[in-house]
Structure 1
Amino acid sequence: MDEFVEENEVFEKYSIIKREQYADFLTNFLNQQAENGYVLNLNAEWGAGKTTFLKCWYNKLKANHPVVYFDAWKTDFTHDAMTALMDSFHAQLANPISDNKALIRDFYEKGMHFIKIAVPSLAVGYLKHKSGMQNDESLLQDITDTFGINVTEDSCSDALKETLKAALEQRKKVEGIHEFKTALENIADEYIKVSNKHIPIYIFIDELDRCRPNYAIEVIENVKHFFNTKNFVFVIATDTKQLQHSIKAIYGYQFDSNLYLSRFFNQSVTLPQPKLIEFILSKYQFKLDTSFPTDKNIIDDTLIAKLITKVFKYHNINSLREIDKILISLDSCGKSADKELNVLSLLTLLILRNFHPNIYNKFKNQKLIPYRGINASVTNELASPVYNQHTVEKLSLDCITKHSLSFENFIHISLSEIINSSKNNYRTMDEYAILNTPNHNIHIVYSGLIANIVFNNSKEQAVFDDYINLVDLHFIE
């Protein structure tokens, strides 16, 4: 049997994110709501881990419930959401009952009127009629039976036939919705019998964020109109704000997209965001230079994770997916280089290269630092309004100095260190224990902190060009 979700995607694998309890809560809630069918919108920003959550939840549910996983992005190219949805239901629900061919045939026959690429039976009848094939009166007979009007080949113009054919097809579609849902329910009942699992049947719809706007909307509309029936629970994962923009792109800027979506979802919930510092700690640990006064517990993995978190927060980067990509590049840079690299300096450059390339290029070509230094009275011309200089709290190393430092100044120091490319000589306890230093010596203290959070400790110190070459090599498309 095909593996629709990787079996190794389990909550234990992502224990630091702590979302299993939330999945259990949703399961208990949805099991009680499923009698008449239920559609839940699982909202989270792009990159917040919706796919991982759904796959882990899928693997936990499948022991007791039928579960269908539908990757909308993989079927976007078909331009036909109904066909793609029916195929997923057939592959993941109907296959175990393939011996019951009558049920499966009924499912497809009842769905024929709603599939774009299928040739409707009425159109077939019309073509047969026009070509003189056997049963060439099928279209006209259907029109007579449905609308109670007697039309013949001689009395019915081509234009009228086209109009009546369209009206007849529309009537069949409306009447066919109930028949299609009944066929779907019959397949579900039979699946429950042969699998010994329990209702409700869960349908997870993922990756709508990546689809074309019209296809994403079509998926949701098809779910609500055709598939939402008793004992079926749909969980549709979306970046709801982005989806609302997609709806406005189709229906117009003034269109009330929030009201529109409320017609399709019984309820919306937001996926809890894991703490970024815990996410970083679960993936990365750094070897430290112990000549910094670590006996006073100044530097440890938690402090490094806090500083990395602040760098992302300062640059308004919140997506776990984007953060993970940057951290993978950071780790790759450290492993591929044979020189000592300041971790925070390198991280800042990777962020600039990927999210602010124009600013990065000015730093690369002119060595202009896009952050204010300690003595700067005005913002550098390269500074961008996306920076959160007012929301990221100041840094303070109370064991070393009573003077705190703005985070913008701290990032400025991290880049000035690699421009100067000189080995930091302020590494002894005596040098750091200056409790009443004037502002210019704060630079010494915090540059010492930066100089001790490194990759490849005790190797030859990397210079400016080394950093630039590494960052350009590890650029993320």
Structure 2
Amino acid sequence: MERVEDPIVLAVDGPWGSGKSYFLKRWVGAHRIENGGSATTVYFDAFANDFLDDPLISLTGAIGERLPTEKTGVTWKKAKRIAVTLARPALRIGAAVSTAGVTEIAGPLVDAAIEAGGKEAEKAAEAFWKREDGRRAAMLQFRSALGELTKDGNPLIIVADELDRCRPDYALSVLEVIKHFFAVERVHFVLGVNLDALEHIVRVRYGVGVNAADYLKRFVSLSTQLPTMVGQNSNMHATIKYLQSAGSEMGIEPKAIEIAADQIGLAINRNTVSLRDVEKILTRLALLPRRKEFGQTYFGYQFVIISLILWQVLKPEFFNRAVRQTLEVDEIEAFFGISKAMFDNKSEQHNHDAYILSGVWRYALTGTVEKEEDRSSFAKAFDTFGRATKILPNIERDYFRIFQVGER
């Protein structure tokens, strides 16, 4: 973005919980420190400011807080006054004429103020700024102030995040303000947004018949997404990488992380698993009773406990039905995307983890197995002698009833 002069708006697109805000907040801080950038970067949480009617004021304030000291002089103070008076026309005389001086404001407004007097001056000023020529004059002044900030060649890049969570009118006001007031060379925007949700906001505001995608093209120059696959060869899903990295930092039992990674690797082909979901899964793993004993527990219990934690986050009704033993094995296999071909050693789709997971759950729910020759193996997954009973009630009592996280 530093190499582009014409103003651009880049949308970092992704669903809720995909890590957009986490990335963008850190990019704003790291742009100069770690990446050798020269731009002034600003983070603006649109959702935190949508209680205001006019986003221009809050955007101007956020920019002022991040500007280097040498750029916060008369020019930017003038821009702030313009923003305030555009939002509140009745304050124009007090904010502009009384304190700024004749040279600090546009000629037509000063003329209106001088010709009028007292309360009539306020009425004249308000009428001026409500007229199209008044707003156009203010817009040109504001752009001129922005141009002063970037005339040294260093861009201003503003990250406007959480736009899709705002009130529809406010979200669209932000886009309009960006388009009309910030269309200045070397002033760029990065939107942290779910474009599908933003299209929905457009339809709420203008009706279901509007072409929301075309409407947004007026404001968004181009879009990108955070990668879903990471690693040197892009061979690992980002959610699994995050699970492993954060889980290690949290000191979670390595075996629990290993099994959770395997099960998420299966589930992610049929279900949406966000980074925020992974955070919730890690929280439950960290707060799990007897977590220090997890690595020494029979692997059948390990598999079942991890599945239950995943379902608490991703599919709560599965958790409730599993502990009541009303969940069907076919439903479990569908959730994890397990097919019969995965059980066949000669098939290219063979997946040993899927075979074990299906067998363990079948035995835990029914006390039976699909193939009689496998009975002993799966029975011993819960007890050395294969005599474990009331498997799910005992797991629920020992690992989930003592300390519950979230709603049941």
| TM-score, normalised relative to structure 1 | 0.63
Give the residue type in structure 2 aligned to 1:69. Answer: Y
Aligned partner of 1:109 in structure 2 is 81
Unpaired segments ≥5 residues, structure 1? 1-29, 143-163, 193-197, 289-299, 373-382, 422-436, 453-460
Report the aligned-residue RMSD.
4.3
Aligned partner of 1:38 in structure 2 is 8
Which residues of 2 match residues 277-426 of structure 1 at below 5 A?
277-284=240-247, 286=253, 305-314=261-270, 316-333=271-288, 340=297, 342-364=301-323, 366-372=324-330, 383=331, 387=335, 389=337, 395=342, 413-415=359-361
How far 1:332 moved relative to its partner?
Answer: 2.3
Q: Does 1:258 align with 2:217?
A: no
Q: Is the 8 A contact 2:172 2:202 kept in 1?
A: yes
Q: Deviations over 1:225-249 (max 9, x none)?
A: 2123111121111111121112222
Give the residue type in structure 1 aligned to 2:19. Answer: G
Sequence identity percentage: 20
Secondary structure at the residue paired with 2:184?
Answer: coil
Q: Does 1:475 align with 2:406?
A: yes
User: Which of 228, 236, 241 is the equivalent residue of 2:191?
Assistant: 236
Aligned partner of 1:463 in structure 2 is 395
Secondary structure at the residue paired with 1:260?
Answer: helix
Q: Deviations over 1:279-306 (max 9, x none)?
A: 3332346455xxxxxxxxxxx9767623
Aligned partner of 1:12 in structure 2 is none
Distance in 2 between residues matched to 1:337 and 1:402, nearest whole Å: 37
The structure-2 alpha-carbon separation of the partners of 1:402 and 1:256, relative to structure 1 and needing over 3 Å to count, comes to closer
The structure-2 alpha-carbon separation of the partners of 1:447 and 1:302, relative to structure 1 and needing over 3 Å to count, comes to farther
Secondary structure at the residue paired with 2:288?
Answer: helix
The structure-2 alpha-carbon separation of the partners of 1:476 and 1:330, relative to structure 1 and needing over 3 Å to count, comes to farther
Q: Is the 8 A contact 2:155 2:188 kept in 1?
A: yes
Distance in 2 between residues matched to 1:336 and 1:326, nearest whole Å: 14
Q: Deviations over 1:428-458 (max 9, x none)?
A: xxxxxxxxx9823346556767999xxxxxx
How far 1:368 moved relative to its partner?
Answer: 0.7
Give the residue type in structure 2 aligned to 1:78. Answer: L
| Greater alpha carbon shift after TM alignment, 266-275 vs 335-344 | 335-344
The structure-2 alpha-carbon separation of the partners of 1:121 and 1:467, relative to structure 1 and needing over 3 Å to count, comes to same
Give the residue type in structure 1 aligned to 2:308. Answer: L
The structure-2 alpha-carbon separation of the partners of 1:43 and 1:216, relative to structure 1 and needing over 3 Å to count, comes to same
Unpaired segments ≥5 residues, structure 2? 98-111, 230-236, 385-392
How far 1:118 moved relative to its partner?
Answer: 6.0
Q: Please say which structure displays the higher CA radius of gyration.
A: 1
The structure-2 alpha-carbon separation of the partners of 1:463 and 1:107, relative to structure 1 and needing over 3 Å to count, comes to closer
May I ask how many residue pairs the two structures share in their alignment? 362
The structure-2 alpha-carbon separation of the partners of 1:397 and 1:140, relative to structure 1 and needing over 3 Å to count, comes to closer
From the two aligned structures, give the one with the greater helix fraction.
Answer: 2
Q: Is the 8 A contact 1:200 1:232 kept in 2?
A: yes
Secondary structure at the residue paired with 2:51?
Answer: helix
Give the residue type in structure 2 aligned to 1:307. Answer: Q
Distance in 2 between residues matched to 1:334 and 1:277, nearest whole Å: 23
Give the residue type in structure 2 aligned to 1:82. Answer: L
Q: Is the 8 A contact 2:243 2:257 kept in 1?
A: no
Q: Deviations over 1:331-377 (max 9, x none)?
A: 3215657674834322322333344434433444x3212432xxxxx
Give the residue type in structure 2 aligned to 1:181. Answer: R
Which residues of 2 match residues 49-64 of structure 1 at below 5 A?
49-63=19-33, 64=38
Give the residue type in structure 2 aligned to 1:232. Answer: V
Q: Is the 8 A contact 1:201 1:232 kept in 2?
A: yes
Q: Is the 8 A contact 2:343 2:355 kept in 1?
A: no
How far 1:250 moved relative to its partner?
Answer: 1.9
Q: Deviations over 1:353-403 (max 9, x none)?
A: 344434433444x3212432xxxxxxxxxx49984637x79645959x999
Q: Is the 8 A contact 2:40 2:155 kept in 1?
A: yes
Distance in 1 between residues matched to 2:79 and 2:348, nearest whole Å: 74
Q: Is the 8 A contact 1:39 1:228 kept in 2?
A: no
User: Which of 147, 151, 165 is the equivalent residue of 1:210?
Assistant: 165
